[in-house]
Amino acid sequence: MQITRIIRSAAVTGVAIFMMAAGASAATITFNTAQTGSGGTGFNGSGNLVLQSSSGAEGTLAFVPDMNSVNAVPGNVNFGNFTLACASCSTQASGFGSNFGAFTFDVVVTDVTDGATGIFVGTASAGSVYLDASTITINWLPLQLGPGTNNAKSGNFGPTSFQTVAQTKIVNPSSGAQIGSTTVQGSINSSAVPEPATLSLVGGALLGFGLLRRKRGLSR
């Protein structure tokens, strides 16, 4: 009876400690996509976060970075927002819109927690904008930064990886949850595996349950 209690106690303790360890491994990551001081980023490598239209009605496409965001891993993230504005644009049917030339845009992701930096490079063909339509689509590469030094411009992402969607379609100036605003969506993941000590605890717990179950079977 005493042995049974010891085995049960060891098994329950092992599972409890494993659950605590698993909970502790559910980390949070602090990152930002602020361009300040990064140099040679933004639209067309100019460091500018606002792009002016090339012809037609006067319009702007501006990027608002995500500043020092703290996110659970794994989880979905917002790398920032593009806001399209064109005060004098009409509807597509009326035919007076704003034209934007082809452009590139660099989203610099700084993993504050791990001390690494990487860049999602976006490219877009020339597009037109009306109050009710937008043909601007930004294509992103690479689609993942990290883990480790994968696509890192500096530092090491460790087990953390940042993913982005392949395309961001810029909504027209009168659409979106926030008028004219389009979110650059992505996610954060981790390739971390349980430490050997944690695995030993799991193994001990499973062994304890196995012995307990076997003892119960023999006592019947």
161-220 pLDDT, tens digit per residue, is 999 999 999 999 998 778 999 999 999 999 985 544 444 444 444 444 454 455 555 455
pLDDT at 13 over 80: no
Residue 37, phi then psi, degrees to nearest 5: 80, 0
pTM summary value: 0.76
Reported as a pLDDT band with limits 50, 70 and 90, residue 36 is low
* Mean pLDDT score, 46-66: 94
Reported as a pLDDT band with limits 50, 70 and 90, residue 12 is very low
* Mean pLDDT score, 134-155: 97
pLDDT at 14 over 50: no
CB 116 within 8 A of CB 89: no
Residue 9, phi then psi, degrees to nearest 5: -65, -45
pLDDT at 28 over 70: yes
* Mean pLDDT score, 68-82: 94
* Mean pLDDT score, 12-30: 51
First to last CA, the chain: 14
Reported as a pLDDT band with limits 50, 70 and 90, residue 74 is very high
- Comparing CA positions, the residue from 214, 174, 54, 201 lying closest to residue 126 is 54
Q: What local confidence, expressed as pLDDT, does residue 217 receive?
A: 53
The rounded distance, in Å, linking the Cα atoms of 135 and 109 is: 26
Q: What is the mean pLDDT of the chain?
A: 82
Listing DSSP states for 106-149 in one string gives EEEEEETTTTEEEEEEEEE--EEEETTEE--EEEEE-SEE-STT
- Condensed to tens digits (0 to 9), the pLDDT of residues 84-135 reads 999 999 999 999 999 999 999 999 999 999 999 999 999 999 999 999 999 9
The rounded distance, in Å, linking the Cα atoms of 43 and 45 is: 5
- Comparing CA positions, the residue from 206, 218, 198 lying closest to residue 10 is 206
